[in-house]
Amino acid sequence: MSAFECQLAESQRQAVQAEIDARKSAKERNRLGQFATPYALAVEIAHYVESILGQPNQRVRFADPSIGSGSFFSAALTVFGCKRISSAIGVEIDPEFAGAVRCLWSNAGLEVVHGDFTRVIANGSCPLAPNVVLANPPYVRHHHMSREEKARLQALTFKMVGIDVNGLAGLYVYFLLLATAWMEDGGVAAWLVPSEFMDVNYGAALKRFLADRVTLIRVHRFDPNDVQFGDALVSSVVLVFRKAPPSADHEVLFTFGGSLAEPRASDLIARERLREARKWTAYPNHLNNNRHAVALGTGPTLGDFFRVQRGIATGCNKFFILEREVAARLGLPDKYLRPILPSPRQLKITKIDADADGHPLIDSQLCVVDCNLPEPMVAANYPALWAYLQTAQSLGVMSGYLIGKRSPWYKQEQREPSDFLCTYMGRGSGDHPPFRFIWNRSKAIATNLYLMLYPKPNLAAMLRCYPERAEIVHTLLGQVTGNELRGEGRVYGGGLNKIEPSELARICAASFVERWPEIRDGGVVQGKLFG
């Protein structure tokens, strides 16, 4: 194929891709993780791979394990040229894409295997080991994979790579490991994958693989505020590595933001340091990286002073959470209603006072239905509540997963109100923190859109002695920086951040100890009591 023919085929590819995308619903595309790599990005990745291949005229045996319409193959043709590519294989599960890619590129020597890559690789029918893999695997999350499918993939990956993949890992983790097993030793691979594995526990096996088993060359994380795939809610990272054991003093180039060719921040990180690091998104440690200031893991943390717990999952907020006024109008008994905070979006303040009944003093007072009486007793003693519960069936509430597991189905998880809360998800860049800390002086509990912070014994005892210090606690919590919160939490495409209880518990709490050194060992309280 001449350069002109390649360009022509690329324009046709873009048209075919748009046509197939338009025919599919978002649900269908999500099921198979069908979000094509923009051609300009594919070319940039191919250029980078070319720059590290080694000998300038080394023959390329190309592979893409989930080729789609062939964005990467097209880029490889542009960058390496047709003559340098001695073989090329693309695997694709979707018959429409498999047909289209075959039509577009068979003239250029692309061999298309129609099938599930993880099965093709398992039955040994994958031809010729490639020495260049360019891939953007399907971003299928684990909960869209059946239990049997996960067990099969876990067993296969263990057999082929010797790695135990956590059941919470998405399909792309298996793709990367299996395709690397297939690759020729010394070959180079570039993978465009979601960056969340860099931060979460289920990414540990992949991080270990990248740090120990291959020579990781480059990790470029895109700025999550600049979504690569428009409609796919993930943030992405390009991983480039050579299939060769790393040297002991190997360093990896971590870059962030901008483009692969012109990143906004960069840093060389020793492999040894990576092996220890819990969160790779903290690299490069540079002001431009909005997640750079991760606590070092030494010194006091919020978890030393607070027990952190997610708020309750009701199973159906629309049904179980009512305006207090509406509940009163329906005659629902007070003893089976608990005050509950509105969603963070509707809660504009960070200090909540209480009315005489302990309800928050806010515009829209809400309560959650929470009753532990068996159905016959509700029916006999609380007709209004019984009548309300009867409406659940027609509203489709009863088919919910949580509701099926609870007995009685209208009994909520039990939580005490907590003095402090943190919102569970949010946006915010630079100095603006993604989450808010709330000081709650009411008896309201919270849904799982909040994390609830319960002071542990030392801090609780101090607050009992000096209740006025609660305000300072709130101030200190509010001083946790956006970078610290983002560094411990996780980020999704479009800049949505979330933080889990264990992550919040790891935030540095040095300011608490600086202020009240005694709370480390309970001395303050003893001081007050005895001296």
Dihedral sign for Cα atoms in the order 109, 115, 117, 119:
negative
CA distances from 503 to 121, 257, 294, 303, 350 (A): 37, 24, 11, 9, 21
Least distance CB 107 / ligand SAM (angstroms): 19
* C-beta separation of 409 from 378 below 8 A: no
Q: Which long-range contacts (CB under 8 A, 24 or more apart) does 162-168 make?
A: 163/205, 163/208, 163/209, 164/205, 165/205, 165/206, 166/201, 166/202, 166/204, 166/205, 167/142, 167/202, 168/142, 168/200, 168/201, 168/202
Exactly one of 71, 131, 365, 458 binds ligand SAM (CB under 6 A); which one?
71
Residue 85 or 392 having the CB closest to ligand SAM: 85
In the complex, what is the shortest distance from the CB of residue 12 to ligand SAM, in angstroms, rounded to a whole number? 15
Tell me: does residue 64 bind ligand SAM (CB under 6 A): yes
In whole angstroms, the minimum distance from the beta carbon of 106 to ligand SAM comes to 17
35 binds ligand SAM (CB under 6 A): yes
Contact between 388 and ligand SAM by CB under 6 A: the answer reads no
> Look-up: residue for tokens 């270990």?
208
33 binds ligand SAM per the rule CB under 6 A: yes
Q: How many other β-carbons are positioned within 10 Å of the β-carbon of residue 8?
A: 12
CB of 37 to ligand SAM, least distance (A): 3
CB of 356 to ligand SAM, least distance (A): 57
Closest separation in Å from C-beta 66 to ligand SAM: 3
How many angstroms separate the CA atoms of 480 and 498, rounded?
Answer: 15
Member of 93, 153, 216, 369 binding ligand SAM (CB under 6 A): 93
Shorter beta-carbon distance to ligand SAM: residue 114 or 310: 114
Residue span binding ligand SAM (CB under 6 A) among the ranges 87-95, 153-161, 176-184, 283-291: 87-95
In the sheet with 321-323, reading across from the earlier edge strand, the strands are 321-323, 366-369, 337-340
Ramachandran category for residue 21: left, alpha or beta (phi over 0 → left; psi -120 to 50 → alpha): alpha
Among 48, 117, 222, 516, binds ligand SAM (CB under 6 A): 117
Task: Assess 118 for contact with ligand SAM (CB under 6 A).
Answer: yes
- Long-range contact list for 360-363, CB < 8 A, 24+ apart? 360/440, 360/442, 360/444, 361/442
Single residue of 6, 9, 16, 37 touching ligand SAM by CB under 6 A:
37
- C-beta closer to ligand SAM: residue 30 or 423: 30
Shortest distance in whole angstroms from residue 13 CB to ligand SAM: 9
Pick one of 13, 76, 77, 94: the residue that binds ligand SAM (CB under 6 A).
94
Cα–Cα distance for residue pair 36/92, rounded to 1 Å: 13
Cβ closest to ligand SAM, residue 140 vs residue 371 = 140
Residue selected from 6, 16, 36, 403 as contacting ligand SAM according to rule CB under 6 A = 36
Comparison of 72 and 336: residue with beta carbon closer to ligand SAM:
72
Nearest to ligand SAM by Cβ — which residue? 68
Tell me the chain's radius of gyration from C-alpha atoms: 27
Minimum CB distance to ligand SAM, residue 217 (Å) = 20
3-state secondary structure 27-63: HHHHHCCCCCCCHHHHHHHHHHHHHHCCCCCCCEEEE
Task: Determine the angle formed by the axes of helices 457-465 and 469-478, rounding to 10 degrees.
Answer: 130
Does 91 engage in binding with ligand SAM (CB under 6 A)?
A: yes
Cβ 313 to ligand SAM shortest distance, Å? 31
User: Interface with ligand SAM includes 97 (CB under 6 A)?
Assistant: yes
User: In 3D, which of 387, 262, 394 has the Cα closest to residue 330?
Assistant: 387
Instruction: State both tokens at 158.
Output: 């263990």
- Site of interaction with ligand SAM (CB under 6 A): 32-37, 64, 66-68, 71-72, 91-94, 97, 116-118, 136, 138
